[in-house]
Amino acid sequence: MNVLVVGAGAMGRWFADAVRADDVGIAFADPDDAAASAAADAVDGRAVPLDTDESFTAVCIAVPIPVAVEAIATHADRAERALIDVTGVAAEPVAAMREHAPDRERLSLHPLFAPENEPGNVAAVVDAAGSTTDAVRDALTARGNDVFETTADEHDRAMETVQAKTHAAVLAFGLAADPVPEEFQTPISTVLFDLLEQVTGGDARVYADIQDAFDGAEDVAAAAEELAATDADAFGALYDRAGDHR
């Protein structure tokens, strides 16, 4: 099997490393030729131009969310058997794969962790299964990941909470917080500051793409306003409502 990974960022590199084997050849294509070459070298693969006329057993789209649909349309014809995406959103890529690769296997994957935190849960929208996508899922499972099936709609609804709302809440805390000496920290504030460090230690563009792709930040803002405006008698009801989501 030979695999083309479109996108030489963290997710593309993770996917290539996960599926590489003695009988799997990896190629990378990226607008940044140097990034494609570095990613290829890391997995004993090769770099190819973005406009390559080669075909591959499988093509994996590992690009930022805003350009996922365009990348699928551009590279779908290079997939002989399977088209896969690891962009982090499901509904639009799955629809694009159906349109541009109707007769091929189609799989949308979302590792719910940063590559350095593997193994973990991997959401899988299996839109059209086959031996190639089965082999990919088996390779991820062999690395200790829990690959679970879901639908595009269920995945994207979940991301509104576990990504968009979560990131908005952590960043809002960071924007509102004042510096506090260590001796004043509580167990809860320590956790929040640790989360803030983790979120702000990444790539702002990735977090911006998530906020643009999924609803949720407005709900966090509305909830904060409701808490700020409530009186002591009504606070208990809000407190209980929040606890219902544990």
Structure confidence by residue, pLDDT tens digits, 136-187: 999 999 999 999 999 999 999 999 999 999 999 999 999 999 999 999 999 9
Structure confidence by residue, pLDDT tens digits, 70-79: 999 999 999 9
Round to whole Å and give the CA distance between 213 and 59: 23
Closest by CA position to 141, among listed 13, 9, 10, 18? 18
Q: Is the pTM of this model over 0.85?
A: yes
Cα four-point dihedral sign 132, 133, 134, 135: positive
Domain boundaries, the chain: 2-150, 154-243
Contact in structure between 42 and 13 (CB atoms under 8 Å): yes
- The least confident of 30-34, 39-43, 192-196, 238-242 is 238-242
pLDDT for 142: 96
The whole-number average pLDDT for the span 211-232 is 94
CATH fold of 2-150: Rossmann fold (3.40.50)
pLDDT for 23: 87
Band (pLDDT 50/70/90 cuts) for residue 231 is: very high
Collapsing DSSP states into helix, strand and coil, what is residue 79? strand
pLDDT for 151: 98
Structure confidence by residue, pLDDT tens digits, 76-130: 999 999 999 999 999 999 999 999 999 999 999 999 998 999 999 999 999 999 9
